[in-house]
Amino acid sequence: MSPATNSVMGSVPVNQAGIGSAMNDSTRLVGGALGIAVLGTVMNSVYLDKISVLEIGNTISPDAYEGISSSIQGAHIMAESIPDPNVSQAIIEAADHAFVAGMSDAFMVTAFVMAAASVISLLILPSKIQPTEM
């Protein structure tokens, strides 16, 4: 963050530092919100794909399945309420596996974006510091 902020603030004249700071903060907030949205979508999509293949058949109600597919916490809560320990354990294992798979894919997307941003920064940003105009 510090080098990026320094780069932004170093590229605007001193008399427009407030505008530069506001722009820096705005882009950081928008980037954070978009990152959360994209990575959350990737993770949720993978989680739902992995949970949808859960082979518990007719042993649970549609409401219980909805709770299981809503989140990993929902899956653990629903598993506690199921009297059959084998089904309960299968639900917990499947939810845990789906959650880890979703997080892994989200981290892979993050790694790709970070690598691409690094290459773009290397190509676009100047290699020497330019003096600030007063």
- Residue 13 belongs to some domain of the structure: no
Nearest to 104 by CA among 30, 45, 35, 55: 45
Domain of residue 115, residue span: 26-124
Judge whether 1 lies within some domain: no
Q: Residue 13 corresponds to which tokens in the numbers above?
A: 């004249």
User: Is 44:103 a contact under the CB 8 Å cutoff?
Assistant: no
Instruction: Go through 33-49 and write b for each residue having 16 or more CB atoms within 10 A of its CB, e for each that does not.
Output: eeeeeebeebbeebbee
Question: Pick from 55, 52, 93, 98: which is nearest to 76 by CA?
Answer: 93
Calpha distance 90→69 (Å, rounded): 14
132 occurs within a structural domain: no
In a domain, 2, yes or no: no
Residue 96 resides in a domain = yes
Number of domains within the chain: 1
DSSP category for residue 49: H
pTM of the prediction? 0.76
Tokens describing residue 83: 């009297």
Residue 15 belongs to some domain of the structure: no
Tens digits of pLDDT across the chain (134 residues): 777 788 778 778 888 889 888 988 998 999 999 999 999 999 999 999 988 776 655 567 778 888 888 899 999 998 898 888 988 898 899 999 999 999 999 999 999 999 998 999 888 877 776 665 65
Cβ count within 10 A of residue 1: 7
